[in-house]
């Protein structure tokens, strides 16, 4: 890449590895991958099946760049072949550092892994002066985020660190209008 070329924004997608292609959420993740690639974004996922594979396959079939983040010790799993680049990690913290280095983090429906990755990104957004933008599009995760406000000690400023979006066109419009994708708080807080 020359000095004059701009690096495409990297969008990480997190979501369930257990959701299969007969589920409407799989089709939605595939469509998100297509839309991201069509609009010039690089797609990064955990590298395996479910919604990660759906997103990567959609992006790959649209001609987009895809990055997977497989774990070197997870011998029982095979990365989805739609990931053009694999960034192998020897531990979960290394994998998370790749994930959190992206410009945007889109959270789809998932389980404990998805929740923990979103919570870590949210905590970093709360405490670090520069952080990845968090976008929630999964219906189940959005319901959970709504519960956080009433059940945990979370301020409106903390809630503002997560953007809940309802459709793929809204996601693309948000990404395109965000300008500098890494938000700054001005001052870190704890």
> Minimum mean pLDDT among 53-57, 123-127, 149-153: which range?
149-153
Contact 137/106 with Cβ under 8 angstroms? yes
Cα gap 55→91, rounded to integer Å? 23
pLDDT confidence of residue 184: 46
Tens of pLDDT along 60-80?
A: 999 999 999 999 999 999 999
Domain ranges of the chain: 14-184
pLDDT exceeds 50 at position 38: yes
For residue 183 the two structure tokens come to 């938000």
Supply the pLDDT for residue 180. Answer: 52
Strands laid side by side in the 162-164 sheet:
85-86, 66-68, 42-45, 10-14, 104-107, 133-136, 162-164
What is the model's pTM?
0.90
Name, in order, each residue with C-beta under 8 angstroms of 85's C-beta and a sequence gap of 6 or more. Answer: 65, 66, 67, 68
* CATH T-level topology, domain 14-184: Rossmann fold (3.40.50)
User: Per-residue pLDDT for 5 more than 60?
Assistant: no
């Amino acid at each position: 890449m020359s000095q004059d070329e701009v690096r495409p924004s990297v969008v990480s997608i997190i979501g369930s590895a257990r959701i299969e292609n007969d589920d409407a959420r799989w089709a939605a993740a595939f469509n998100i991958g297509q839309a991201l690639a069509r609009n010039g974004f690089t797609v990064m996922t955990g590298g395996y099946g479910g919604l990660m594979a759906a997103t990567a396959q959609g992006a790959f079939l649209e001609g987009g760049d895809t990055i997977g983040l497989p774990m070197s010790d997870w011998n029982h799993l095979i990365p989805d072949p739609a990931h053009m680049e694999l960034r192998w990690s020897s531990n979960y913290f290394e994998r998370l550092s790749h994930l959190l280095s992206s410009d945007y983090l889109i959270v789809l429906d998932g389980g404990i892994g998805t929740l923990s990755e979103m919570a870590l990104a949210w905590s970093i957004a709360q405490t670090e002066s520069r952080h990845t933008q968090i976008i929630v599009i999964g219906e189940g995760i959005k319901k959970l985020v709504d519960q956080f406000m009433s059940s945990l000690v979370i301020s409106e400023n903390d809630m503002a660190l997560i953007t809940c979006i309802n459709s793929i066109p809204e996601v693309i419009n948000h990404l395109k209008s965000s300008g500098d994708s890494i938000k700054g708080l001005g001052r870190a807080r704890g």
